[in-house]
Chain A
């Protein structure tokens, strides 16, 4: 099927089943086979061919309106496409520009900004990363201190961002910066777009707990950017970024990670000859039931979207449960393999059995996107009406 034929389809009018078939067909026809089921997130140089195929097909931005070059999917259909990509093992592309910046520009950007930046995201000319967290502004993000001061028609930026995912691959960064120190902390923050090749910008990779360099620190030392690179009104950055936290939060609670951990646990059971062992079978069955319960909860939240409803703060229950379940499965796996869990790589060199890397990876889930403890604070207040 040609790209044009795919684009002629009225995706939102299709039944979920018909849309699923269309996605499977698209993936089978177009996804580079060698990029399927990558063991970890691919770098830009590796995943670029797939990005360019998506771009040419008009399938790069499922969440953007068609007039801006997106697929114009409603939230329910976006859930379907993510689900099918995961089933297929499609490679994840650098998506901060598509998932976060694009919707913000479409809602709050000037016509000139939309006309300039959106096509460059779609063409792969601009790869974006997100500059929100700072060394002293993690869970308490609103206390961020990276500062932008107007000077002769330019913003002069000084400060430091951290946990910047894929910054070494990106060409641009969108940042929350402090533009007014005299106001309440949420009311003095603006949203600024900065090219990473500007003099004064330094990107330094962070070696994380998995001995990987997915994140970086980004330093700004008298970095000068044009006044027009601010999105929306000055000092409205916090409100805009917060308003854009939409239904995508459901993905933080996707069953995917726990499901992958359970697959690995089963492989370990087979490898170590434990599938007839009463203790192993009881533990495995318990985790499997818990995963199915989690999937049931995920589906019930997704049903809210399918009915056209909006997700409230209770969507955070999904992430709480996913974090806990994923971590307990990997912990159990680590205990199960005993001394082999001490090895840097699994004995047969296969990532299929490397529960220790999954265990390390699972530490991050209860931290990123709001720690478990912060989420509980929010849920207590917003859902249970406590405090």
Chain B
């Protein structure tokens, strides 16, 4: 069970997140398909609230908050479809220190992680190739890379900090369904600062936070949809009086409840046990659930809207498209089921 002091810290972070989020989908809409795809002034506000350091211990300038609290923050961010690179930036926060870290935490420089060396992976497969202080590497699906001041390039056991405008850095941007972008980034002898890094715990936390973002997203989508069902009239009555639609909505809420319980339990387990193999398995389970649930709930929300749901003008589509981006990020259901199966193999004894 969640201790009471943790509960109150969660409520505090939720309130501060709601202050920023404000359900302003007009802002989200305007930022779509622009570069860098998010708002530096909103970013500065988030950093000033200490969000980038919330998981860091106090001696590293952080707030020392629980993963449960981080999940609550990510959930509120997802509910508002915030495009700012909160989860990638917090992932980077945990992996390095020094002056640029201080600037990163303060929102003066944005350091974004570049860890994927292959599609369909849950962690970097290979070690980094660093020769004479120069990095040779290729990273894909680097989120919002056009907004980065520095890249934290992550390998299986080492990392490298590289300025985005350094020679030998080539960024190729690909737009994403939500109106943001990811990039292919090539580092061809780029000058770097090498770091010792164990990315697994930080990636696991980012995975859980992404699950929580998806939770907020689907909850927000269902809320909009329920409001629509209550006011839209067809055949002389509001849609919310049709039993078949009521049952679809109940099924969606059940998926949300299961996702919330799974995420909460995984975060609590991580907070109490640390990065145990059972806690890793619980995070995989939560991400598998949240990814599948967010896809189903957002699909069904489009269906429940009928024709208006197929327009770009209606906000419900923003939720579906965001789910298309976040559901596979840090691994979708199939990958996390495979990892869960490795961490908890079938017992042979009966």
User: Which residues on A are within 8 Å of B, measured CB to CB?
Assistant: 263, 266-267, 269-270, 275, 281-282, 284-286, 288-289, 292-294, 296-297, 299-300, 303, 306-307, 314, 317, 320-321, 352, 373, 376-377, 379-381, 383-387
Q: Does the CB pair B261–A297 fall under 8 Å?
A: yes
Shortest CB-to-CB span from A159 to chain B, Å, is: 31
Binding stretch for chain A, among B23-31, B140-148, B248-256: B248-256
CB distance from A355 to the nearest CB of B (A): 14
Of B249, B346, B347, most buried by chain A (CB within 10 Å of CB) is B346
Q: Which residues of chain B are within 8 angstroms of A296 by Cβ–Cβ distance?
A: 258, 261-262, 264-265
Interface of B is mostly: helix
A379 to B348 CA separation, bound complex (whole angstroms): 40
Q: Which chain B positions have C-beta within 8 A of A317? A: 253-254, 257
Q: Report the minimum CB–CB distance from B3 to chain A (whole Å).
A: 12
Q: Which B residues have a C-beta under 8 Å from some C-beta of A?
A: 1-2, 226, 229-230, 240-241, 243, 245-247, 249-251, 253-254, 257-258, 260-262, 264-265, 282, 285, 288-289, 337-338, 340-341, 344, 346-348, 350
Q: A317-B257, A384-B249 are in contact. List 12 more A-B contacts (CB 8 A).
A: A285-B337, A285-B340, A285-B344, A288-B344, A292-B262, A296-B262, A296-B264, A317-B254, A320-B250, A384-B226, A386-B241, A386-B246
Contacts of B1 in A (CB 8 A): 303, 306-307
Q: Kindly identify which residue among B230, B257, B258 contacts A386, using a CB–CB cutoff of 8 Å.
A: B230
- Given A266-B350, A296-B262, A386-B226, CB of A285 within 8 Å of CB of B254: no
Complex Cα spacing A294 to B254, Å = 11
Q: List, in ascending order, chain B residues with CB within 8 A of A376's CB.
A: 246-247, 250-251
Residue contact A386 to B229, C-beta cutoff 8 Å:
yes
Question: Which residue of B has the minimal Cβ distance to A380?
Answer: B246
B285 lies within 8 A of A292 (CB)? yes
CB of B240 within 8 A of CB of A300, answer: no
Complex: how many Å from CA A377 to CA B258? 19
Q: Which residue of B lies closest to A274 (CB)?
A: B346
Residue of B nearest to A284 (CB): B346
Cα distance A292–B261 in the bound complex, in angstroms = 10
Residues of chain B within 8 A of A384, CB atoms compared: 226, 246, 249-250, 253
Bound CA–CA A376/B341 (angstroms):
33
Most buried by A among B229, B250, B289: B250
Q: CA of A294 to CA of B262 in the docked complex: distance in angstroms? A: 8
A-B contacts, 25 listed (Cβ < 8 Å): A263-B350, A266-B350, A270-B348, A282-B337, A286-B337, A289-B337, A292-B282, A293-B258, A293-B261, A294-B258, A296-B264, A297-B261, A299-B265, A300-B260, A300-B264, A303-B1, A314-B257, A317-B254, A376-B247, A376-B250, A376-B251, A380-B249, A384-B246, A384-B250, A385-B226
Q: How far is the CA of A292 from the CA of B283 in the complex (A)?
A: 12
CB pair A386–B346 under 8 Å, yes or no, is no
Q: How far is the CB of B329 from chain A (nearest CB, A)?
A: 19
> Is the contact region of chain A dominated by helix, strand, or loop, or is it mixed?
helix
**Which B residue's beta carbon lies closest to that of A267?**
B350
- Residues in chain B near residue A293, CB distance under 8 A: 258, 261-262, 285, 289
Please, which residues of chain A bring their CB within 8 A of the CB of B264? 296, 300
Q: Is the CB of B243 within 8 A of A266?
A: no
Cβ of B260: which chain A residues have Cβ within 8 Å of it?
300
B contact residues around A303 at 8 Å (CB): 1-2
Alpha-carbon distance A289/B264, docked complex (angstroms)? 15
B289 — which chain A residues lie within 8 A by C-beta? Answer: 289, 293
What is the chain A residue whose CB lies nearest that of B339?
A285
Residue of A at shortest CB range from B241?
Answer: A387
CA distance A288 to B249 in the complex (A): 26
Asked if B341 and A266 sit within 8 Å, CB to CB, the answer is no
- Closest CB pairs A-B (n = 4): A380-B246, A386-B240, A296-B261, A297-B261
